[in-house]
Amino acid sequence: MQENQQAPQQEQEVHDRIRQQIAENPVLLYMKGSPKLPSCGFSAQASQALMSCGKPFAYVDILQNPDIRAELPKIANWPTFPQLWISGELVGGCDIILEMFQQGELQPMVEEAAPEQPEG
């Protein structure tokens, strides 16, 4: 019985952590691997499109964070990864990211949301 009572508590902590990540990072990609070493083709394409926007973005490697991998789809109501969040809103997965990038819609969104990097 004890374990069952722990689960909602842990789930809540993970949800809080995800919400905090989304709130603190104006451009955030949940992906498999990292932008330099993606672990799946979809994550590779999504991070490549984001990097092409030329602005800094945060990422979370869901393979290193199985709790986030399990809980984020419930919060986002989006079953797959990668997931791109801009200004606290779910933009979508790989297909949407690439389509928006090709149509020139992603760049202005990223530019508007991304913090200006201090020089030097």
- The 3 state secondary structure assigned to 38-101 is ECCHHHHHHHHHHHHCCCCCEEEECCCCHHHHHHHHHHHCCCCCCEEEECCEEEECHHHHHHHH
End-to-end CA distance of the chain: 55
Known binding-site residues for glutathione equal 32, 69, 81, 94-95
Known binding-site residues equal 32, 40, 69, 81, 94-95
Question: Does 1 have pLDDT greater than 50?
Answer: no
| pLDDT digit string, tens, across residues 63-114 | 999 999 999 999 999 999 999 999 999 999 999 999 999 999 999 999 999 8
Buried b (16+ CB within 10 A) or exposed e, 41-64: ebbbbbbebbeebebebebbbbee
Percent of the chain with pLDDT over 70: 90
Q: Give the per-residue pLDDT at 4.
A: 52
Superfamily, domain 2-113: Glutaredoxin (3.40.30.10)
Known binding-site residues for [2Fe-2S] cluster equal 40
Domain map of the chain by residue range? 2-113
